[in-house]
Chains A and B, each alone.
Chain A
Amino acid sequence: MENYSPLLALSIFFIVVALLYVLFRPTKGWFWIIRKAFESSEKVIIEDVLKQLYHFETSNNRVDMKTLVQILDFKNTDIVEAVKKMTINDLIYSESDVLKLTEEGRDYALRIVRVHRLWERYLADKTGIHKKEWHDRAESMEHRLSHDEADELAAHLGHPKFDPHGDPIPTKTGKMASVHGVELPLLPVGSVGKITHIEDEPEVIYKQILAEHIYMGSLLKVIENNSTRIVFESEGEEFKLAPIVAANLTVALIEKEVVIEDNIARLSSLKEDETAKIIGISKENRGESRRRLLDLGFVKGSNVSIDLLNPLGDPNAYLIKGTSIALRKDQASKILIKKD
């Protein structure tokens, strides 16, 4: 206590705080980086190589060693070492520089893909983790879940067919549903379709799509399509996307024109003194919160109108089945209505 001075105490305090920050700040903290380095063992590299080869194979692209090293975020020597080992173990073989999967290697790759997509499905349905984070979390989980655990998870989720982005989840035996549809920029003006897949890589583009509130399973109608932008209408709102962004959306054409209801809008766009009928709840609203909305009476055919506007703008209260229920804007935007 003799050499106490407030300045000294303060500086020690701030040094400790700075140290803790450097060590434990989210994702970039040294502690996490070091822990991750320990995790990226040979197994992880092998599995990531298999997955990349599998993705290239399904998109009919060829990979050689050079591209592989560029894509994967590991030390080059480690990758080369892993590829050597995989060749010995009959997981891959090379045909004049092009790396290819053996039957066994493809099986292994499919298992990894299965775990990855199942885990994304799990995060979407059973947790409150934001969609931005699904991919990264699944990336690390895919190396940790065993085969049996994956089966258990699949059973728990009710053997889902697609992950939340619309990618098919391979079954235990390696069977996979096919994704219908084509990339959005290939659709002519005036065509109507349903979004069946939203690609989550690269991240920059995926984030733009998230920011636009474009949802899986939404119906859309192409209004304008040229080399600079693609404009489409979906659920009562107009979206403008650059072709490169729009290419990440896969849309299945709907042939029967009868199916589509006109004037579908989102509940969030309802004005005071307007009334509407509920058409349904967007697939984007899942699990617990979807069931709650159904419990409250947000079912097909119910009449809905605005009961109260909030003094701070959000949430508004909606009158449904004689009860006043307040919903936040992002929830109301996932309820589809048809205005009277």
Chain B
Amino acid sequence: MKDNNIDNIIELSNELRWQIGDEFHDNLTESIYADAADIVKDSVTTQDGEKRFRLDSKIDKIVTSKIWGFPIMFLILGTVLWLTIVGANYPSSLLASLLLDTVHPLLQSGANSVNMPWWLAGFLIDGVYLAVAWVIAVMLPPMAIFFPMFTLLEDFGYLPRVAFNLDSLFNKSGAHGKQALTMSMGFGCNAAGVVATRIIDSPRERLIAIITNNFSLCNGRWPTQILIATIFIGAVVPESLSSLASLLAVISVAVLGMAFMFGVSWALSKTVLKGEVSTFNLELPPYRPPRFWKTIYTSLIDRTLIVLWRAIVFAAPAGAVIWLISNVHVGDETIAAFLINGMDGFGFLLGLNGVILLAYIVAIPANEIVIPTILMLTVMVTGIGGGAGAGVMFELDSINATGDILRAGGWTLLTAVNLMLFSLLHNPCSTTIYTIYKETNSVKWTVVASIMPVILGFVVTFLVAQVWRLLF
């Protein structure tokens, strides 16, 4: 009897709901909003908001004007990037000389004096410690410079105007204007760029921004690009032009990355992401003087240290793996040599070589250790002098010496060009992959974001290699 009553009531409620019609719910919500707005209008008074607003709109008129909007934007973002890349050199080399040139030998001799077995010392000091030290030395300074500057701009209120200016470009590829910001953030660090996509509240556009963030050349890859461009691209033009040529080469790779970002965004929004909900809106908050110290503090703690910690966690086992594959022998060759021989054919098809492919596999945890790993493996495989021993990553102070080692490893201009392309188009580092998983909570999108760039990288380098060999 009782159950029957309940059923009747539910039936009646469904019936009534149906009679009221679809618009009822909307109308109710809207009238609540309208009432709330009325109450606010009557009871809240605003004081001297006018004056601030006038200053705001003056700034806005300039930074979003047809003439000045884009030059100002390029100037500011360019300055930030330049300060980061150039400014990070000094603290980086300081850290490197401390951690790599001073502490590392100290640890080695310390291990010797307590008679630690060679394999344990190699594994811990040459493998784990070296990778961690390397990541800290290369990664920390640029992030410590880039993130605070970026956060200051954000805090001041300028960045939303950049999103506003650029939105129609992103709209054409199905993305959100705020992706301009997460993309710029990606130039600092892709993991941080992925975290920054939280500012995009539309689900579809946010996924697009996450998946394509890897096309921003991050801090870990700038040094690789600059080094390779200086050695190989700079060498093909007269010496007076060489630094200009290598600079242009690096910039074109970064611009190519942006082109890929737009193209892939467009393709994603037309195919796999078609069904996701999209809501656009962009708030332009009033300008305010940035809270300097607070910003510095939070950007160092929230962004820099968290990202650095994740990188260290992933770099430590990578160092161990690098040391192990170069020291554990199967038959008469090391695992590394075995893998390199196995991948040489495929590498050749891509205009690369087995060493590079292996380096990119073991250096998934951090792009920073790609070049040291390549150098170590090249020395090991070719058997030329130099280097610091099997499994011990190293870098040379002299760019010429580095070039000599690479050329001895069979590198040509094609290898260099394709390495630069592959450095742009390959899977994100494991820190970023982990962050993508954290942010999307989806294995599917994490896999897409990780695999798609590698496939693109394979296709692009393959095509370049074949065309190059046909032409030259």
Q: List chain A positions with a Cβ less than 8 A from chain B.
A: 1, 4, 6-7, 9-10, 13, 26, 126-130, 158-162, 171, 175, 177, 280-281, 283, 287-294, 296-297, 299-302, 307-315, 317, 321-328, 331
**B26-49 vs A, Cβ < 8 Å mask (1 yes, 0 no):** 100111011001100000001001
Candidates A6, A171, A280, A308; contact of B466 at CB < 8 Å: A6
Docked Cα-Cα span, A162 to B21, in Å, equals 9
* Size class of the contact patch on chain B: 35 or more
**Which 9 residue pairs spanning A and B have beta carbons closest together?**
A289-B279, A324-B284, A326-B282, A6-B466, A299-B33, A6-B469, A312-B168, A128-B278, A300-B34
- Is the beta-carbon distance between B70 and A311 smaller than 8 angstroms? yes
- Report the minimum CB–CB distance from A146 to chain B (whole Å): 20
Neighbouring B residues of A309 by C-beta, 8 Å = 64
Q: Does B154 lie at the interface of the complex (its beta carbon under 8 Å from any beta carbon of A)?
A: no
Candidates B14, B165, B283; contact of A323 at CB < 8 Å: B283
- Is the beta-carbon distance between A292 and B18 smaller than 8 angstroms? no
Neighbouring B residues of A326 by C-beta, 8 Å = 164, 167, 177, 281-284
Neighbouring B residues of A281 by C-beta, 8 Å = 30
- Report the minimum CB–CB distance from A274 to chain B (whole Å): 16
- Is the beta-carbon distance between A311 and B65 smaller than 8 angstroms? yes
Surface stretch bound by A, among B269-277, B315-323, B328-336, B379-387: B269-277
Q: A159-B18, A307-B57 are in contact. Are A328 and B165 (CB under 8 A)?
A: no
- Report the minimum CB–CB distance from A115 to chain B (whole Å): 18
Residue among A159, A288, A324 facing the most chain B CB atoms (10 A cut-off): A324
Docked Cα-Cα span, A309 to B164, in Å, equals 10
- Is the beta-carbon distance between A26 and B466 smaller than 8 angstroms? no
Q: A1-B348, A129-B274, A288-B279 are in contact. Are A301 and B37 (CB under 8 A)?
A: yes
- Is the beta-carbon distance between B349 and A289 smaller than 8 angstroms? no
Docked Cα-Cα span, A325 to B463, in Å, equals 45
Docked Cα-Cα span, A126 to B299, in Å, equals 37
- Is the beta-carbon distance between B168 and A313 smaller than 8 angstroms? yes
Report the nearest B residue to A303, measured CB to CB: B41
- Is the beta-carbon distance between A327 and B280 smaller than 8 angstroms? yes
Report the nearest B residue to A291, measured CB to CB: B29
Docked Cα-Cα span, A7 to B469, in Å, equals 9
**B158-192 vs A, Cβ < 8 Å mask (1 yes, 0 no):** 00000011111101000001000000000000000
10 contacts between A and B (CB under 8 A): A6-B469, A127-B277, A158-B17, A175-B18, A302-B37, A322-B49, A323-B283, A324-B284, A326-B283, A331-B280
Q: Does B470 lie at the interface of the complex (its beta carbon under 8 Å from any beta carbon of A)?
A: yes
Report the nearest A residue to B38, measured CB to CB: A301
Neighbouring B residues of A160 by C-beta, 8 Å = 22
Docked Cα-Cα span, A317 to B282, in Å, equals 8
Neighbouring B residues of A315 by C-beta, 8 Å = 164, 167-168, 171, 177, 280, 282
- Is the beta-carbon distance between B470 and A6 smaller than 8 angstroms? yes
Neighbouring A residues of B465 by C-beta, 8 Å = 6
Interface residues of B in 427-453 (CB under 8 A from A): none
Neighbouring B residues of A331 by C-beta, 8 Å = 280-281
Interface residues of B in 64-113 (CB under 8 A from A): 64-66, 69-70
- Is the beta-carbon distance between B60 and A308 smaller than 8 angstroms? yes
- Is the beta-carbon distance between A1 and B345 smaller than 8 angstroms? yes
Q: A26-B271, A310-B165 are in contact. Are A327 and B345 (CB under 8 A)?
A: no
Q: A1-B345, A300-B34, A328-B171 are in contact. Are A310 and B281 (CB under 8 A)?
A: no
Q: A127-B276, A128-B277, A310-B64 are in contact. Are A158 and B168 (CB under 8 A)?
A: no
- Is the beta-carbon distance between A307 and B70 smaller than 8 angstroms? no
Report the nearest A residue to B67, measured CB to CB: A311
Q: A299-B37, A317-B284, A322-B46 are in contact. Are A171 and B18 (CB under 8 A)?
A: yes
Docked Cα-Cα span, A4 to B280, in Å, equals 51
Report the nearest B residue to A299, measured CB to CB: B33
